[in-house]
Amino acid sequence: MAPIDNNRAALLLVASTAAFTLNDTFMKILTAELPLMETIALRGVVVTLGLGAIAFRARALWVRLSGMDAAMVGLRGFAEAVTTFFFVTALARIPLANLTAILQALPLTVTLAAAVFLGEPVGWRRLTAILVGFLGVMLIVRPGPAGFDIYALYGLASVATITLRDVATRRLSAAVPSTFVALVTAAMVTLAALAATAVAEEWVTPAPRSLLHLGAAAVTVLAGYLASLIALRWGDLGFVGPFRYTGLVWALILGLAVFGDWPDATTLAGAAIVVATGIYTLHRERARARAAAARARG
């Protein structure tokens, strides 16, 4: 295991959120140039090849899995394929910062799902933070006739399926390499998108401009994955975890610079509530881990 280097890990995690947000920006541009599933499929081919090269270098191209691990890898890939459809559909229709703000609820939903499905303890403080965070999400989505966008539901659906993906990931044994899991997931997403393209869409030959955007999307998503993987191995999760929320800052900047979008005051207030409760949830999780470690030493 790499030695703890929280400062470098935090910088890498900030860089990874920037890379992922750049990927989202290029994908949002591409959905105006190419059919939805074709866009996902073409990016997926490049990402799968890139992850395949990384897995080959790490000698993780082929792994013998237990029955449980195989089921969890398959469930994770299925959840990611559904997530990609919901997320990219929402990305094409609503402002980048609004969708990113909805995704900031993930630490809350993952904590709640881990309690319900994995039996992990959640005290009243974290449960209260989760409930308050969901109120923040409602401010962003605004489920009512005024200000409501049906595609915000696609964003919420992607939060649900990402939560399913992360619960499946937690059920994997430590012996399964991360690069192998990422490769299988990328391949499943790509195959699902290719199948959907063949059935439901008419193929459009990408223009040179679109090919540049596709290449940029693939490179930035790979860079984001690698940076986040290294960051989480170098740093203490309780310290570096809150730096994930810098993704919202990048989304605000790129949304304004590229698309001319800026969230209204209600959306920004909801995002602030979600981020604050998410950071508090991570803080309580870190405190619980320290207390458990102290009890084990005693």
Per-residue model confidence as pLDDT tens digits over 75-130: 999 999 999 999 999 999 999 999 999 998 988 898 888 888 878 777 888 889 88
Separation of alpha carbons 158 and 82, rounded Å: 8
pLDDT of residue 125: 85
pLDDT of residue 2: 47
Strands (E), the chain: none
Per-residue model confidence as pLDDT tens digits over 16-46: 999 999 999 999 999 999 999 999 999 999 9
Q: How many domains does the chain have?
A: 1
pLDDT of residue 70: 95
287 or 29: which leads in pLDDT: 29
3-state secondary structure 63-85: CCCCHHHHHHHHHHHHHHHHHHH
Q: Would residue 1 count as lying in a domain?
A: no
Q: How many residues make up the chain in this entry?
A: 298
pLDDT of residue 23: 96
pTM of the model: 0.86
Tell me how crowded residue 264 is: count the other CB atoms within 10 A of its CB: 10
Residue 3: is its pLDDT beyond 60? no
Q: At what angle do helices 67-93 and 6-30 cross, to 10 degrees?
A: 60
Q: Enumerate residues 6+ apart whose C-beta is below 8 A from 58.
A: 177, 179
Q: Would residue 190 count as lying in a domain?
A: yes
- Average pLDDT value for residue range 143-163: 82
Per-residue tokens: 30: 């591409």
Output phi, psi for 276, to 5 deg: -60, -45
Residue 147: is its pLDDT beyond 60? no
Separation of alpha carbons 184 and 75, rounded Å: 11
Q: How confident is the model at residue 1 (pLDDT cuts 50, 70, 90)?
A: very low
Separation of alpha carbons 62 and 56, rounded Å: 9
Residue 71: is its pLDDT beyond 90? yes
pLDDT of residue 74: 96
229 or 53: which leads in pLDDT: 53
Q: Would residue 90 count as lying in a domain?
A: yes
Per-residue tokens: 172: 């994997």
Q: Are 44 and 188 in contact (CB under 8 A)?
A: no
As a whole number, the mean pLDDT across the chain is 88
Residue 279: is its pLDDT beyond 90? no
Separation of alpha carbons 24 and 27, rounded Å: 5
Separation of alpha carbons 163 and 127, rounded Å: 16
pLDDT of residue 4: 64
Q: Give percent of the chain with pLDDT exceeding 90.
A: 57
Separation of alpha carbons 111 and 88, rounded Å: 24
| Segments forming the whole domain that contains residue 112 | 6-297
Q: Are 139 and 132 in contact (CB under 8 A)?
A: no
Q: At what angle do helices 208-234 and 6-30 cross, to 10 degrees?
A: 160
pLDDT of residue 81: 96
Per-residue model confidence as pLDDT tens digits over 202-250: 999 999 999 999 999 999 999 998 888 788 667 776 677 788 889 999 9
pLDDT of residue 238: 64
56 or 290: which leads in pLDDT: 56
